Amino acid sequence: MVQTKKLRKAVFPVAGLGTRFLPATKAVPKEMLTVVDKPVIQYVVDEAIEAGIEHFVFVTGRGKAVIEDYFDIQFELEQTLKARNKNAELSLLDSLQPTAGQTSFTRQQEPLGLGHAVWCARDIVGHEPFALLLPDMIMRGEKACLKGMVELYEKTGGNIVAVEECAPDQAHKYGIVGVGDALEGGFKITQMVEKPAKGTAPSNFFINGRYILQPEIFEILSTQERGAGNEIQLTDGMLKLAQNQDFAGYHFRGQTFDCGSKDGFILANVAFAIERSDIRPAIEDNLKALLAALK
C-alpha cells in the first residue's frame, strides 16, 4: 500500500453559462436542472459523498447564487413542512443537507476555461490532493466512479483520471489517454491527447470528467498560457504535471450521461426514472408506446 495523503476535498466547477440550454438557463443554472426530482449537481455531490469526500468546493459565477441557496437550510420551507406533518419530505431534505462549514464557494469572475476554474479553488484546497468532478456528467454503475478512483489512488498515489471506452472511430471527439502497464482497476497513463485527429488516437479510452489531482497543479495553472478556445486548459496543465508525477487511468465500467447536452439530459431522465420503483409503473407503458410510434 502506497502512503498517500487522504483525499478530503472535491472541486465542482459550476460557473458555466449553459448556453446549450437557453432559454431555460437564462434564469436557472444548468446544474440546477432536474433529473427526475433532483438537480444534476446533487447527483454529482452524492457521488463525492459516497467516495468519502468531506469538503465541497464550488467554483461559481454570476447568476449561480441559487446553488449556494440550495445547499443551505431553507427555514420557511422546513417550518411549513413541519406544520403540515410532511415528515418524509423533511427527512429527505435533512439527508441531503451538508453540515455547517462543509461547503465553500468561490467566484470565477471570467469564463477563462476549466484550468482557470480549478485554479480559482487553490486557496480553499490548499496543499493537499483533491477530486475534481465536472458537474455536467452524472454516472451510474455497480460502483460509483469516484469511489473506485479513490480505491485506486490509495494503492498508487499520484494522479488519477477516470476513463471509459468509446468506439475507435469516435476517439477524435474526446480527450484520449495512452495505455501503459496494467494496474488493479486501471492502468498507467503514458500520454494524454485532446481530440486527436482521426486515425491518430493512442487508444479508445476517453477522459470522462472525474479526476484526482495533486496540489502542484495549481502552481502550473498559475502560469499556464491559454490554449484551445483561447482558454486555460486543464489538459495542458496535466501534461506538464505528468512530466514529474505519475498519472493512472481508472477504468469506469458503467454509464455516463452528459447532462450539458440536450440528448444526454433527456436520456439521463429516462434512465434514472425507470430505475425508480415509484415511477417506472406509471411511465413504462407510455415509454413503450412512444418507442413503438417511432417504428
pLDDT tens digits, one per residue of 120-158: 999 999 999 999 999 999 999 889 999 999 999 999 999
**Overall pTM surpassing 0.85 (yes/no):** yes
Average pLDDT over the chain, rounded to an integer: 91
- 132-142: string of b/e by CB count within 10 Å (b at 16+)? bbbbbbbbbee
**Cell numbers representing residue 220 in the block:** 502550473
What is the DSSP track for 110-145? S---HHHHHHTTHHHH-SS-EEEE-TTEEEEESS-H
Number of C-beta neighbours around residue 275 at 10 A:
11
Measured between alpha carbons, how far is 243 from 181 in angstroms, rounded to an integer? 17
Closest-CA residue to 66 (of 14, 18, 137): 14
Measured between alpha carbons, how far is 221 from 240 in angstroms, rounded to an integer? 10
Measured between alpha carbons, how far is 93 from 265 in angstroms, rounded to an integer? 24
Measured between alpha carbons, how far is 264 from 256 in angstroms, rounded to an integer? 9
Q: Are 231 and 116 spatial neighbours (Cβ–Cβ below 8 Å)?
A: yes
Tallying the residues shown for the chain, one arrives at 295
Measured between alpha carbons, how far is 213 from 119 in angstroms, rounded to an integer? 12
Measured between alpha carbons, how far is 192 from 47 in angstroms, rounded to an integer? 25
Measured between alpha carbons, how far is 44 from 46 in angstroms, rounded to an integer? 5
Residue range 157-189, pLDDT digits in tens:
999 999 999 998 888 888 899 999 999 889 999
Measured between alpha carbons, how far is 43 from 48 in angstroms, rounded to an integer? 9
Phi and psi of 113, rounded to 5°? Answer: 105, 165
What pLDDT does 250 receive? 96
What is the DSSP track for 182-251? EETTEEEEEEEEESPPTT--S-SEEEEEEEEE-THHHHHHHTPPP-GGGS--HHHHHHHHTTTS-EEEEE
Residue 193 pLDDT grade (very low, low, confident, very high; cuts 50, 70, 90): confident
DSSP state of 76: H
Residue range 100-124, pLDDT digits in tens:
889 999 999 888 889 999 999 999 9
**Cell numbers representing residue 71 in the block:** 445547499
Number of C-beta neighbours around residue 127 at 10 A:
10
**Does position 12 have pLDDT exceeding 90, yes or no?**
yes
- For residue 55, the number of C-alpha atoms closer than 13 Å in the C-beta half-sphere is 15
Residue range 233-252, pLDDT digits in tens:
898 999 999 999 999 999 99
What pLDDT does 213 receive? 97
What pLDDT does 232 receive? 83
